[in-house]
Amino acid sequence: MSDMTFQRARSAEQREIRRRAILDTAAAMLVEMPVAEVSLNELSRRVGLAKSNVLRYFESREAILLELLDRAVKEWLDELPGHLDTAVRPDASARERGDQLAAVVAGSLAKRAVLCDLLSAQAGVLEHNVSVAVAARYKRATLDNITATSELVRRHLPEVGDEAFLLCGGIFVLVGAMWPYSRPSSSMLAAFEADPALAVLRLDFPATAEYALATFVAGTIARTASSADVD
């Protein structure tokens, strides 16, 4: 795709095609490499545009990745209801339903490495080097995603009550924080192998995420019940 071709992309439809091509190319790169290795130079080379032309569509690498993070969350949310409907038994106790929900959420996220990697980079990397407009647009999308997640959780676990939004926002934070620990460096892997006693510190993401989320859910239910008793 030459610069001359780029100059001919004048219509809104043509610009949207280019924009989608940039996003799809960046998404393909994330399957091959971690977020930290995705560069504008390589993205520009793969999409066939000069870096300056890529920046006509997105103001920075981080703006591209934030949009892909929102896309990844929405794709996950499209699939999650079916998994929950299958696994969470409506006749089970609140504790059992909380554990079942945590198992589904943790298991489904463990299969989405790109989403987890993007979540782990969100606050420390992706939310920097973006304009106020891009930041606000992303945060509005985040509000929508957390709201959608909380409505889904309350459908299966009404006991969480009004704390559902805080619970679901916390789920995304927990996942982002845990993910890097499940991807140790080569030095850490060598240390674990050299001293088996250290292996207990190697985080197994699905198991740890399930435990943490189940505990988080149980605590939220307990807090909600306690507040109801006080009222």
The answer to whether the CB of 164 falls within 8 A of the CB of 147 is no
pLDDT of amino acid 231: 53
Q: pTM value? A: 0.90
pLDDT of amino acid 6: 45
**DSSP secondary structure of 64-78:** HHHHHHHHHHHHHHH
- The low-confidence residues of the chain, meaning pLDDT below 50, are 1-7
Sign for the CA dihedral angle at 81, 83, 84, 85 comes to positive
pLDDT of amino acid 19: 94
Q: Which amino acid makes up residue 109? A: L
pLDDT of amino acid 225: 85
pLDDT of amino acid 75: 98
DSSP class of residue 127 equals T
In our burial notation (b when 16+ CB lie closer than 10 A, e otherwise), range 115-147 reads bbbbbbbbeeebeeebeeebeebbeebbeebbe
- Residue 189 burial by CB count (10 A; 0-12/13-18/19+): exposed, middle or buried? exposed
Spatial separation of the C-alpha atoms in residues 84 and 152, rounded to whole Å: 9
State how far the alpha carbon of 10 is from the alpha carbons of 13, 126, 175, 200, in Å.
8, 29, 41, 57
pLDDT of amino acid 228: 62
**CATH superfamily ID and name for 61-230:** Tetracycline Repressor, domain 2 (1.10.357.10)
Spatial separation of the C-alpha atoms in residues 24 and 21, rounded to whole Å: 5
User: What's the helix, strand, coil split of the chain in %, to 5?
Assistant: 85, 0, 15
pLDDT of amino acid 208: 96
**Residue range(s) in the chain whose domain bears CATH number 1.10.10:** 1-58
**Residue range(s) in the chain whose domain bears CATH number 1.10.357.10:** 61-230
pLDDT digits (tens, 9 = 90+) for 147-172: 999 999 999 999 999 999 999 999 99
In our burial notation (b when 16+ CB lie closer than 10 A, e otherwise), range 167-187 reads bbbbbbebbbebbeebeeeee
Look at the domain 1-58 and name its fold. Answer: Arc Repressor Mutant, subunit A (1.10.10)
